[in-house]
Amino acid sequence: MSGGVEERFQQLVSHLDYPMFIVTTSAGDRRAGCLVGFCTQCSIDPPRFVVFLSNKNFTFRLAQDAEALAVHVVPGDEIELARLFGEETGDETDKFERCEWSPGPLRVPLVERCPHRFVGRIADRFSTQGGDHVGFVLEPVEVHAGGGSFLPFSDAKELEPGHEA
């Protein structure tokens, strides 16, 4: 993409707004999780949801060997939790020593302060044609639904990601 188009594209997407999620996983005896904005429902019947993880992230590397991911809606007043999962990296810090969590189905760690969440079995993985994120298609296997507020991208975009994308 030429410089001008790329810049205008960044400008366009930086003004969009959408909910933030904390996506967690485990492989072997290791746990991982990061703040995610790139994700959406992608099928109604059967229900499917896709999460895009940066290929630089510790969470991505664990997810390569994982069976499932947990997708947590970040409540609107949990900016500090978003900071922990978005600014720290599992390459250097055990985030799960710094928040309350419990073991969930398919061995995913569940973050206590995010009660609205689902656990999804990884049904497919796909590359984004040379892009820097990989899509993980999830089949929900356990869901805790509820209302409540969510932290929007517009409140989280000033955080400094633990890994460059």
Binding site for ligand FMN (CB under 6 A): 32, 34-38, 52-54, 57-59, 86-91, 153, 156-157, 159, 161-163
Closest contact distance (angstroms) between CB of 7 and ligand FMN is: 19
| Cβ proximity of 78 and 114 under 8 Å | yes
Closest to ligand FMN by CB, 24 or 45: 24
3-state SS assignment for residue 40: strand
Please count the other Cβ atoms lying within 10 Å of the Cβ belonging to residue 16: 9
Please count the other Cβ atoms lying within 10 Å of the Cβ belonging to residue 40: 10
Structure tokens at 90: 């599992």
CA 40-71-67 angle, 5° bins = 105
Closest contact distance (angstroms) between CB of 158 and ligand FMN is: 8
Closest to ligand FMN by CB, 86 or 104: 86
Closest contact distance (angstroms) between CB of 79 and ligand FMN is: 11
| Closest residue by beta carbon to ligand FMN | 162
130 phi-psi bin (left φ>0, alpha ψ -120 to 50, beta other) = left
Closest to ligand FMN by CB, 123 or 156: 156
> Which residues neighbour 48 within 8 Å (Cβ) at sequence distance 6 or greater?
41, 42, 123, 137, 138, 139
Closest to ligand FMN by CB, 20 or 119: 20
Closest contact distance (angstroms) between CB of 32 and ligand FMN is: 6
Closest to ligand FMN by CB, 3 or 38: 38
Closest contact distance (angstroms) between CB of 51 and ligand FMN is: 8
